[in-house]
Amino acid sequence: METTQIVDESLRKVTKGAGIILLGTVLGLGLAFVSKIIVIRYITLDEYGVFSLALVLIGVFGSLALLGLEGGATRYIAFFRGKGDEEKVRGTILSSIQIALVASLSFAVIAFFASDLIATNIFHMEELSKPLKILSVAIPFSVLIAIFTSIFRGYDRADVRLYFNDILRNVLYLVFLGFAILWGLSLLRVVYASVAAAVISCIAFAVYAMRRPPLPIKKQSSAILIRKELLFFSLPLLTLGMFLLIMTWTDTLMLGYFKSPDAVGLYNGALPLAQLIPLPLGAMGFLFLPVISSLYSRDLTEEIGRNYKVVTKWIFSASLPVFLVLCLFPEVTLSFLFGSQYAEAASALRFLSLGFLFHTFLGPAGLTLMGAGKTRLLMWISLFGAVLNVILNSALIPRLGIEGAAIASMISYFAVCASCSAKLYQLYRIHPFTKNYLKPIVASGIIILALYAIAKNLLLVTYWMLPLFVILFLVVYAVSLLLTKSFDREDIMILLSIEQRTGIDATVVKNILRRFL
């Protein structure tokens, strides 16, 4: 198969998965935001801080219980599928479920019995203990949801995550919150609602996986061999997962240690908004990993590089408008969504937004290295980022509070993403920086800054204007792409693929593009 055909086929897979994942993520986030707003409105800021802290701590235990298998299982399934080795695919599936089940039950027990110690001796919050005990029950169910998702992901299946994690789990949580409101919403009832949603979603996912497995599972002798190989490959990814936890949650944990629950609550108003920026990266990256793993198994490095350039360009294009709104109008955004008291987190939101945008600017370097099997390299880069983040948080939070936590995360993201990109270029000469990628960024940046200066001086920006600004920034970037003639052949192929899948007639758009190519 020619290089052009291989790249086109790969991009179609990534684009198909990205559409499903982005739809599911948007729906899931929409439901989660409704739930978050309900919780914030019905419980106090201190109680929300305790709840956020409990979720973070249980998330740490859950991530440890995964042992890096969420990435390892996907990569091994895709890799062995690329080689046509069905027995090792079966062994990977069976081994990942067995290991995850044992590990998740063990960490659930540890979390339950350590909750009093964590609450009283570390965070000095007795009210934290009971939520931790209750949430520990959800650890095995959440871990199995992640493992089932990673297995189907290895088969280029993105739809199951949409059904069971993005929609069902969030719908159930919202429904249980509704019942709790009728009975009188309290902190513990919020916690019970979260656990119930995880348990029922996992059971439904397990029933689906047994009735419609991606591959018939039989116990094979090769499963023992795969169990060892899978662990050796996945354990370095645990460090990567812990880095992501540290980047996301150490701020919360250390704010809880150095400051008060209300500071934790404020910070967890800004953080979920900033996490909207890399949504396109998560959407396109979901099937990017198995695609890259399959290409790597066939030594198709040139095709990997071309995929990387095109995917990064689309990721950044989709991320930029959201970043601009959050960075330029943080006070309005926070006040509208969570109430005026959350406007204090505006500076933190700006810093976090910059960190996440830098990640999308450099593209899925970490996923590409993972697909190439460089898990030990990722482990050392992640360890460096985790240590840096803890040091910066320790130095900045006591002095600057939530702004210090946000600055620590921003700098750590810069360091880790830059390190991954540098190693990717050093090993494979892969980078995203083409003229067609950089020209529209510079052109649209100049125009948008001019528009912002005008809006700041002449308009009183209110919440209803925010969607209009997203559309305006998107239009400005699209026009910049046209005027600088920055469309590539693969961009047209992706647009055609989107047209075919959605049924939208894009004839007008294609005619416009022909004039600028």
Residues present in the chain in total: 517
* Segments in 246-340 forming alpha helices (H): 251-258, 261-274, 279-297, 301-328, 330-338
- How far is the C-alpha of 176 from the C-alpha of 40, rounded, in Å? 16
Residue 508 lies in a domain: no
Q: How many CA atoms lie within 13 A of 83 on its CB side?
A: 14
Measured CA angle at 403 (ends 452, 186), to 5 deg = 105
Number of other CB atoms surrounding residue 441 within 10 Å = 19
CB-based contact 37:338 (threshold 8 Å): yes
Q: Which long-range contacts (CB under 8 A, 24 or more apart) does 338-344 make?
A: 338/37, 338/40, 338/269, 339/40, 339/41, 341/45, 341/266, 342/266, 342/269, 342/270, 344/266, 344/402
State the virtual CA torsion across 284, 288, 289, 291 in degrees, nearest 10.
160
Place of tokens 């939101």: 349
Least Cα distance to 160 among 122, 116, 208 occurs for 208
Place of tokens 């060892």: 228
Structural domain boundaries enclosing 303: 3-433
H/E segment holding residue 444: helix 435-458
Query: What sign does the dihedral 247-252-258-262 (CA atoms) show?
Result: positive
Quick one: DSSP state of residue 494?
Answer: H
- Say what the pLDDT of residue 387 is: 87
State the virtual CA torsion across 79, 283, 22, 354 in degrees, nearest 10.
170
Joined together, the tokens standing for residue 113 give 């019995």
Residue 484 lies in a domain: no
Residue 466 lies in a domain: no
SS3 379: helix
- How far is the C-alpha of 344 from the C-alpha of 263, rounded, in Å? 10
- Say what the pLDDT of residue 66 is: 86
Q: Largest Cα–Cα distance of the chain, in whole Å?
A: 72
Query: How many domains is the chain partitioned into structurally?
Result: 1
Residue 440 lies in a domain: no
Residue 500 lies in a domain: no
Least Cα distance to 306 among 490, 514, 93 occurs for 490
CB-based contact 139:66 (threshold 8 Å): no
- How far is the C-alpha of 165 from the C-alpha of 160, rounded, in Å? 8
Residue 476 lies in a domain: no
Dihedral class, residue 125 (left if φ above 0, else alpha if ψ from -120 to 50, else beta): beta
Least Cα distance to 310 among 289, 288, 293, 295 occurs for 288
Quick one: DSSP state of residue 381?
Answer: H
CB-based contact 254:246 (threshold 8 Å): no
Least Cα distance to 170 among 188, 191, 194 occurs for 194
For helices 301-328 and 279-297, angle between their N-to-C axes, nearest 10 degrees: 170
First to last CA, the chain: 27
- Say what the pLDDT of residue 452 is: 80
Place of tokens 């199951």: 160
- How far is the C-alpha of 274 from the C-alpha of 351, rounded, in Å? 9
Per-residue pLDDT 10s for the chain (517 aa) are: 555 666 656 666 666 655 666 676 678 777 877 887 788 777 777 787 788 888 888 988 998 898 888 888 888 888 888 777 777 888 888 888 888 999 999 999 999 999 999 988 888 888 889 999 999 999 999 999 999 998 888 887 877 888 888 889 989 998 998 888 788 777 888 889 999 999 999 999 999 988 887 766 554 445 545 677 787 777 777 766 666 666 666 787 788 778 777 787 788 788 888 988 888 887 777 677 777 877 887 787 888 888 888 889 888 888 888 888 898 888 888 888 777 888 888 999 999 999 999 989 998 998 899 888 887 888 888 888 888 988 999 999 999 888 999 999 999 989 999 999 999 999 999 998 988 888 888 888 888 888 888 777 777 777 777 788 888 888 888 788 778 877 776 666 666 655 555 555 556 655 665 565 5
DSSP string, 22-60: HHHHHHHHHHHHHHHHHHHHHS-HHHHHHHHHHHHHHHH
- How far is the C-alpha of 144 from the C-alpha of 409, rounded, in Å? 29
Quick one: DSSP state of residue 306?
Answer: H
- Say what the pLDDT of residue 221 is: 45
Residue type, 68: G
Quick one: DSSP state of residue 218?
Answer: -
Residue 25 lies in a domain: yes
CB-based contact 151:96 (threshold 8 Å): yes
- How far is the C-alpha of 148 from the C-alpha of 166, rounded, in Å? 14
Residue 450 lies in a domain: no
CB-based contact 135:55 (threshold 8 Å): yes
**pTM (2 d.p.):** 0.71
